[in-house]
Chains A and B, each alone.
Chain A
Amino acid sequence: MEHSIEYLEKQFQDRIDRGENIEAKDWMPEKYRKTHIRQISQHAHSEIVGMLPEGNWITRAPSLRRKVALLAKVQDEAGHGLYLYSAAETLGISRDELFHQLHTGKAKYSSIFNYPAVTWADMGAIGWLVDGAAIINQVMLTRTSYGPYARAMVRICKEESFHQRQGYEIMITLCNGTEEQKAMAQDALNRWWWPSLMMFGPTDAESTHTEQSMKWKIKRKTNDELRQQFIDITIPQAEFLGLTVPDPDLKWNEERGHYDFGEIDWTEFWQVVKGFGPCNKERLKARNKAWDNGAWVREAALAYSEKQSKESIRKAV
């Protein structure tokens, strides 16, 4: 029997309301599929583009131990990209198509990676703040309604919290070091603090996707709630380091049980989102260059495997 769309949509929403996971083969509204492709691929792109600012410091890491840890971290991000592209592929889009969207600037990725990593201390600040902010988002996503995405998140979260600790440990070492090292750490915090807060997206009043996303349990908390959670966790960590968070309006609000904080520069946020951050062009250029330079390699691998399978058919006959 053919069911009407309305009936199917009702069934679908009931399943989500009951807390069931939606799987790749299940019926789903077209908009749910599209929203997920958009969100999962943005997330995947963020992992891949996110390799660039830190990758930039691998060859200059200050000790063998730090070099190995940074290499492993950036490699983990590539792995995250891989799981997430696979999760997106379950929704009927190919990795090549997704790459095409990234390379042509059609797809978005987290704006934070359009800021430059200019000193070694940024390796600490990025791990501590950027991975820290990512975890807040991703822990929520481990319970998202789409099964393959939720499961990818569980794997990824474990590694992200390791990255966060590793970054914080770099900060601790700098803050226990010389005056020069401490100043380097403070400077990194000054530059990464506000962009990290922007990672949670526009305020709830401005956010276009939140309501539908909540209904489908793609999101379970709003941007503002997540941002507040991040601030509340991070301020004591900054205090422990003896660093000053660059926000004169920051103070504990006894009544709310949260920190109050200053106004985010939304003009800067939109400027970076629209492609005019300090490194947007470099990041896309680097991804395009890697992809274009790799074209002959991918073609050769494909041609070789086709020849091999023809050969094995010929032998079998």
Chain B
Amino acid sequence: MPSSNSHHNSANAQVNHIACPDCDLILSIPSLAVNEVTYCTRCDATLLKNQKNSINRTLAFAITGLILFIISNLFPLLSLKAIGLTQESSLLSTAFALFQADQPLLSLIILLTTFVFPATTLVGTIYILIQVKTNRINTYTAPLFRFLRSTDAWGMLEIFLLAILVALVKLGDVADVIYGVSLYAFCLLILSLSLLSYSLNPQDVWNKLRDKQEVSI
């Protein structure tokens, strides 16, 4: 039913119009110059952007990000030295420490926001963009991309970086803090993640998926 529906309508207003996601206003899609962004005329929501090479750039940032994410997890982020003892912390060990301290739910929240969601974002983005680039879109591409878009807010590594800075200041005058190897990789990871979300133009992926669907009908 949905396939016949879309085919039937592809000729009229639906194709060259867009509804504002924040206020539902119907606007015609303008032809955008490179780096141009359109906003809703009623509520100023960002509607569409045209970024040159968005898919290639995003893919590059995602691959860089994945490598940095792996490095960030191999070595400790911070170590604390006191009374002859050294305590190390990494992304996973932070979540695990809460589990050991009888806070399994809190531990799960940390595990999801600092490990699981960032990892799925990186791996999922790479997978989808490669599929889009090589024209090997299958029935799972769209649901997977939807999942990535809706879990985007739950990867919180940049907030975790802020927390590291806060912990550094708090502990600074109490004990010796040693920056781990991974901390540098982690800072670069945050940079690639923000560049990734800046360069990703979801509409480019959706357009590819839509074209593909129309061909298959």
Query: Are A and B genuine complex partners?
Result: no
A positions within 8 Å CB-CB of B: none
